[in-house]
């Protein structure tokens, strides 16, 4: 598979690294020589200095042979033009454009249905708001993904020192859950991913990923000692595009919302556009302002400024004032591994949201959903098995999945099955597969060769 990526920023860089590791033929285009130097020094891909919207540059990149074009620069206009030009040069190439401007929101479907040169529009800001909404709906979870239209939750939960499951061996887990079966797909310990076995123990500080039906999620959280309560009051620090989108969603859900924004003109805009949210002009990192606004009495604080360091500082300040749930936007991937160390558990990233959105569209076989776990340690893929597949009508234990991969869910009509080794996959089942990074290429090959997708 050949993929042309326009834009060598954080999203382009990490997507290129991911695809290169899976032995895909990748070409990266950018006008910034320093950005391309970073790519070429760290990733085994071809780089081309030039504009991704230039026909000559696209021809040099071999667009006519590319299966996919990813336009992920910081400019919506360049991304749109790049897809347009690529479509003229190579109609068969699938084209994905990252578009963040709110003015384009109402036209995403129009682009997909009527624009002949854009196959998919990706807006990471919309996706990150959805992620924040999921985290707010599941207090106590550090990471929440959904499959099967939300009927299955894939949840990351930290094991605390006082957790009922602390030091519990997995083979004895049912003794502490009153016989209720919990499928633990992965454990992240010291930034290393562990595919658990019966003899493994749950240790304090572990990030444990479990699969759960939506209706059983509350019980699963209780088993881990997580207390939950509905969010009624929220504080948003940073009234940019993401903050505005989130405030709109919270208003629709009837959640009382305050926004702190430094820019006075932006405050005026927010006040005009939002019906119920309280907009405050000030610095969210000002502890006296937070105290005056009784920040410690709110249910959740979400920090969404464009500065990672400010977001971290504000989250630490609100924690100190008594806020138990903080959601922090972090753009730099290098910071993610440090967050738990300093007491920040729930982290969101527009760049990671963009990568997740892109992955589901570049996997062979039209994968329904693809979610990265802890940045790039692993991936969860949702697909549909057809009658022609070799994985149907036999026990899962008899199927040769790549090492490091695991079937964690089966949806059959309206029934949700948390599988065991004896479970079988039938035609038209939706299958959810967890795979470590080194197994992803093998899973994709298996899916593309043995499975077809809707």
H helices then E strands: how many in the chain?
15, 22
Tell how strand 2-6 and strand 25-30 pair up.
Answer: parallel
Phi-psi region of 89 (alpha: psi -120 to 50; beta: other; left: phi over 0): alpha
Q: What is the DSSP letter of 303?
A: E
What are the tokens at 418? Answer: 């948390």
* Whether the predicted model's global pTM rises above the 0.85 cut: no
Please tell me the distance from the alpha carbon of residue 84 to that of residue 91, in angstroms, as a whole number: 10
> Options 2.170.190.11, 3.40.50.10330, 3.40.1280.10, 3.30.70.1450; which CATH number does 140-223 get?
3.30.70.1450
- What phi and psi, each to the nearest 5 degrees, are found at residue 29? -115, 135
2-122: CATH homologous superfamily?
NAD(P)-binding Rossmann-like Domain (3.40.50.720)
Please tell me the distance from the alpha carbon of residue 397 to that of residue 223, in angstroms, as a whole number: 28
Which three-class secondary structure state does DSSP give residue 148?
coil
Could you read off the pLDDT tens digit of each residue along the chain, which spans 454 residues? 899 999 999 889 988 988 888 888 999 999 999 999 999 999 999 999 999 999 999 999 999 999 999 999 999 999 999 999 998 999 899 999 998 887 787 777 777 666 567 888 888 888 899 999 989 988 788 889 888 888 888 999 999 888 888 888 888 887 877 767 778 888 998 888 888 888 889 999 899 999 888 888 888 888 888 877 788 999 999 999 999 999 999 999 999 999 999 999 999 999 999 999 999 999 999 999 999 888 888 999 999 999 999 999 999 999 999 988 899 999 887 888 788 888 888 899 888 888 888 877 777 655 678 888 876 678 888 888 777 777 788 888 888 888 888 888 898 988 888 888 888 988 888 889 888 888 887 777 776 644 444 4
CATH class of 363-450: alpha beta
C-alpha distances out from residue 394 to 39, 58, 390, Å: 44, 46, 9
Phi-psi region of 104 (alpha: psi -120 to 50; beta: other; left: phi over 0): alpha
- Confirm if 364 and 383 have CB atoms less than 8 A apart: no
List the Cα angle 222/223/225 in 5-degree steps: 60
C-alpha distances out from residue 310 to 230, 275, 313, 372, Å: 27, 27, 5, 26
What's the pLDDT score for residue 68?
92
Residue bearing tokens 């790519």? 39
CATH code: domain 233-347 is 3.40.50.720
Residue bearing tokens 């009509």? 413
**Residues carrying CATH 3.30.70.1450, the chain:** 140-223, 363-450
**Residues carrying CATH 3.40.50.720, the chain:** 2-122, 233-347
Exposed / middle / buried, residue 225 (Cβ in 10 Å: 0-12, 13-18, 19+): middle
Please tell me the distance from the alpha carbon of residue 392 to that of residue 412, in angstroms, as a whole number: 12
What's the pLDDT score for residue 70?
95
What's the pLDDT score for residue 365?
53
What are the tokens at 410? Answer: 């089966």
């Amino acid at each position: 598979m050949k993929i042309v990526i326009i834009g060598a920023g954080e999203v382009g860089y990490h997507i290129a690294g991911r695809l290169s590791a899976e032995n895909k033929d990748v070409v990266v285009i950018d006008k910034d020589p320093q950005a391309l130097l970073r790519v070429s020094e760290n990733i085994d891909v071809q780089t081309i200095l030039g504009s991704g919207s230039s026909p000559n540059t696209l021809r040099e990149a071999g667009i006519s042979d590319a299966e996919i074009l990813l336009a992920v620069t910081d400019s919506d206009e360049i991304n749109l033009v790049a897809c347009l030009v690529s479509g003229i040069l190579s109609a068969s190439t699938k084209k994905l454009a990252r578009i963040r401007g709110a003015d384009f929101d109402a036209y995403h479907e129009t682009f997909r249905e009527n624009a002949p040169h854009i196959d998919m529009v990706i807006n990471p800001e919309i996706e990150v708001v959805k992620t924040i909404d999921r985290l707010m709906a599941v207090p106590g979870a550090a990471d929440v993904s959904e499959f099967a239209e939300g009927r299955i939750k894939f949840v990351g939960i930290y094991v605390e020192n006082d957790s009922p499951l602390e030091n519990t061996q997995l083979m004895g887990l049912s003794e502490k859950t009153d016989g209720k079966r919990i499928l633990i797909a992965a454990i992240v310990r010291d930034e290393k991913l562990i595919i658990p076995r019966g003899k493994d123990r749950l240790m304090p500080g572990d990030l444990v990923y479990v699969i759960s039906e939506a209706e059983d999620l509350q019980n699963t959280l209780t088993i881990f000692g997580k207390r939950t309560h509905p969010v009624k009051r929220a504080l948003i620090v940073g009234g940019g595009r993401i903050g505005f989108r989130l405030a709109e969603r919270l208003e629709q859900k009837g959640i009382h919302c305050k926004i702190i924004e430094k820019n006075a003109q932006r405050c005026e805009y927010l006040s005009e556009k939002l019906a119920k949210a309280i907009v405050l002009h000030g610095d969210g990192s000002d502890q006296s302002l937070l105290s005056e606004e009784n920040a410690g009495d709110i249910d959740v604080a979400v920090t969404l400024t464009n500065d990672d360091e400010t977001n971290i500082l504000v989250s630490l300040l609100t924690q100190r004032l008594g806020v138990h749930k903080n959601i922090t936007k972090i753009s730099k991937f290098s910071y993610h591994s440090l967050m738990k160390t300093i007491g920040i558990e729930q982290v969101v990233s527009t760049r990671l949201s963009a990568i997740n959105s892109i992955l589901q569209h570049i996997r062979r076989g039209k994968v329904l959903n693809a979610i990265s776990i802890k940045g790039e340690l692993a991936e969860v893929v949702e697909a549909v098995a057809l009658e022609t597949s070799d994985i149907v009508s036999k026990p899962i234990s008899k199927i040769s999945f790549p090492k490091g991969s695991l079937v964690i869910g089966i949806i059959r009509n309206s029934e949700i099955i948390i599988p065991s080794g004896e479970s079988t996959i039938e035609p038209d089942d939706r299958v959810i597969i967890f795979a470590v990074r080194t197994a992803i290429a093998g899973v994709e090959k298996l899916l593309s060769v043995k499975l077809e997708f809707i």
